[in-house]
């Protein structure tokens, strides 16, 4: 009985072992199958990675090739695909036509390559030419027009690498190294702004980050750069006539060198503008210190034997000599800017900022020097301001712009000095009607420094002065209102958008090239269209 039990148990153990071995074999086989599938998947992934890398290499090669080569390879690829799908060969005529087109494309590539090979020689000639003063053709700066025509002809805006842009900016930089010559600066401001206008018409702007010309205006508002083609610009295309902004003209996306050149040109416009403005400020600064206080005139300064009427006229002329000298200087600057056809928009901006500078200097000097805050000195400064007003009128609004309005602080301060019956004035009358531009701190300063030297009148009433002190105490926590002095704003008050939209229509198709380029066969494309 016991033996039978052992045999049954042994059989059962053997069966269990067989089952376990079978399951192990099945599990091992399943594991091997999974391993094979995993290896197959890894192999496919590797193949896909290789395919992606090959495609990326082909794409890079296509991008580095000329447009003609890309078009030719695309056409051949499509042709082979059609042949594979349709299963029949092309005719002899098609083969001949294809080879002819291929030969034409090769010839075009060779011409382009030859043109690129010759460019360094042409670059030298162009930079040598524009380094000279080329003058103007019916109000258009010749250098800017010639530069633009050459850049379009050489397709410089469409290449990834070129040295011509650097050579042009270096030429401009060397020309304005002598920063004290208003004539040279005005000449290059005219050329740089015109060339910037032409680039603005030709090149697309990718977006806000692609243009650095975001500026804050004097009022603090942010101005956006121009993103389209400015109206009113007629540009002659190298392949025919087209008008910027019309359906026939389509601005194109510039390569990096062209975009950088536009930014550098914008910087030069701003730099030259700032140099002209600051040079003028330095010239008139010594005169402003003399214009704020009437000089003392003795009889020895008057011509001998002059009668009373002529003596008064002579003394008045001597009194206002400094003001006349200042007007002479700004008048010479206007003549220089006009002679170089600087855009009127830039001329207005220059004189607006110059007059703002005059306002700051005269007003601050008045509030810092008690000897200037008298009735008679107010009359003297008022006569000088009238000279500036007459200059603005003669210069016309086209060039003077809002220059006269920039003198509001000094004009209102002088109006207070020469006002009659000051003790009868109320604070509301002064702040609302007589001096609306002046702060309470400024009004308090000038009213407490005022002294009468002519008619025996006094300053404001004690009640008005007391009310001013109360208002000043209430504003004492405001650091901005605590200062009674003005600050001069030396920022660039315009954007590229403002400049290009303000400029007049310009046509460059009939600009005569200078003799140096006219004699070179490589610049025959510069000849006016009427000569063709």
What is the overall mean pLDDT for the chain?
Answer: 79
Asked whether the predicted pLDDT for residue 443 surpasses 90, the reply is: yes
Asked whether the predicted pLDDT for residue 32 surpasses 50, the reply is: yes
Phi and psi at 336, nearest 5°, equal: -65, -45
| Helix (H) or strand (E) segment spanning residue 81 | helix 67-86
Confidence of residue 507 (pLDDT cuts 50, 70, 90): confident
Q: Contact, 305 vs 387, CB < 8 A? A: no
343 vs 190: CA distance, rounded Å = 7
pLDDT for res 17: 76
Confidence of residue 475 (pLDDT cuts 50, 70, 90): confident
| Residue scoring higher pLDDT (33 or 256) | 256
145 vs 377: CA distance, rounded Å = 53
Confidence of residue 295 (pLDDT cuts 50, 70, 90): confident
Q: Could you tell me which residues are beta bridge partners of residue 242?
A: 235
Q: Contact, 350 vs 197, CB < 8 A? A: no
Burial of 82 per CB tally in 10 Å (0-12, 13-18, 19+): exposed
pLDDT for res 1: 57
Handedness of CA 97, 101, 104, 106 (dihedral sign): negative
User: How long a stretch of residues is the chain?
Assistant: 532
Asked whether the predicted pLDDT for residue 464 surpasses 80, the reply is: yes
| pTM greater than the 0.85 cutoff | no
* DSSP structure string for 457-514: ---S-HHHHHHHHHHHHHTTT-HHHH--S-----S----HHHHHHHSPP-B-TTPPPP
pLDDT for res 253: 85
Q: Contact, 319 vs 166, CB < 8 A? A: no
Q: For residue range 221-256, what is the model confidence (pLDDT) as tens digits?
A: 333 333 334 444 445 444 433 334 433 456 778 899
Tell which residue, 507, 505, 512, 506, has the closest CA to residue 528: 512
Taking residues 298-319, what's their average pLDDT? 53
Handedness of CA 464, 467, 473, 478 (dihedral sign): negative
pLDDT for res 302: 47
Burial of 92 per CB tally in 10 Å (0-12, 13-18, 19+): exposed
DSSP helix/strand/coil, 451: strand
SS3 per-residue string spanning 442-453: HHHHHHHHCECC
Confidence of residue 86 (pLDDT cuts 50, 70, 90): very low
| Residue scoring higher pLDDT (442 or 223) | 442
pLDDT for res 28: 76
DSSP 8-state code for residue 222: E
pLDDT for res 13: 74
Asked whether the predicted pLDDT for residue 96 surpasses 70, the reply is: no
Asked whether the predicted pLDDT for residue 137 surpasses 50, the reply is: yes
DSSP 8-state code for residue 431: I
């Amino acid at each position: 009985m016991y033996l039978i039990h052992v045999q049954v148990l042994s059989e059962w153990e053997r069966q269990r072992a067989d089952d376990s071995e079978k399951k192990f074999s099945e599990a091992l086989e399943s594991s091997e199958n999974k391993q094979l599938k995993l290896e197959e998947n890894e192999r496919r992934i590797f193949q896909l990675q290789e395919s992606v890398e090959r495609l990326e290499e082909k794409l890079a090669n296509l991008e580095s090739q000329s447009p003609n080569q890309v078009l030719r390879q695309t056409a051949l690829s499509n042709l082979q695909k059609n042949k594979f799908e349709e299963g029949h060969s092309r005719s002899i005529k098609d083969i001949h036509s294809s080879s002819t087109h291929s030969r034409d494309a090769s010839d075009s590539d060779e011409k382009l390559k030859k043109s690129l090979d010759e460019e360094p020689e042409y670059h030298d000639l162009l930079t040598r030419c524009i380094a000279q003063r080329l003058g103007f053709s019916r109000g258009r700066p010749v250098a800017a027009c010639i530069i633009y025509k050459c850049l379009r002809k050489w397709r410089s805006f469409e290449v990834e690498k070129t040295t011509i842009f650097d050579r042009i900016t270096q030429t401009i930089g060397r020309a304005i190294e002598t920063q004290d010559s208003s004539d040279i600066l005005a000449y290059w401001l005219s050329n740089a702004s015109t060339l910037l206008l032409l680039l603005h018409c030709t090149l697309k702007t990718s977006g806000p980050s692609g243009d650095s010309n975001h500026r804050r205006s004097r009022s603090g508002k942010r101005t956006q750069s121009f993103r389209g083609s400015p109206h009113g610009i007629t540009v002659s295309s190298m392949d025919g006539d087209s008008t910027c902004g019309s359906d026939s003209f389509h601005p194109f996306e510039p390569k990096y060198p062209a975009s950088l050149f536009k930014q550098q040109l914008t910087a030069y416009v701003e730099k030259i503008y700032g140099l002209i403005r600051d040079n003028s400020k330095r010239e008139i600064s010594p005169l402003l210190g003399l214009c704020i206080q009437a000089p003392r005139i003795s009889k020895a300064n008057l011509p001998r034997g002059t009668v009373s009427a002529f003596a008064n006229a002579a003394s008045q002329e001597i009194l206002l000599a400094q003001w006349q000298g200042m007007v002479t200087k700004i008048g010479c600057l206007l003549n220089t800017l006009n002679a170089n056809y600087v855009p009127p928009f830039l001329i207005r901006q220059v004189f607006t900022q110059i007059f703002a500078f005059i306002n700051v200097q005269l007003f601050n000097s008045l509030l810092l020097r008690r000897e200037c805050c008298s009735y008679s000195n107010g009359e003297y400064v008022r006569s000088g301001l009238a000279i500036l007003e007459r200059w603005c009128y003669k210069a016309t609004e086209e060039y003077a712009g809002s220059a006269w309005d920039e003198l509001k602080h000094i004009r209102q301060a002088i109006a207070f000095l020469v006002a009659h019956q000051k003790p009868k004035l109320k604070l509301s009358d002064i702040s609302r009607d007589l001096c609306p531009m002046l702060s309470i701190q400024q009004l308090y300063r000038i009213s407490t420094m005022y002294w009468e030297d002519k008619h025996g009148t006094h300053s404001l009433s004690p009640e008005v002065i007391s009310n001013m002190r109360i208002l000043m105490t209430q504003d004492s926590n405001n650091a901005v209102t605590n200062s009674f002095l003005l600050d001069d704003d030396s920022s660039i008050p315009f954007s590229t958008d403002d400049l290009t939209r303000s400029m007049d229509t310009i046509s460059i198709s009939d600009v005569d090239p200078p003799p140096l380029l006219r004699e070179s066969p490589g610049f025959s494309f510069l000849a006016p269209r009427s000569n063709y």
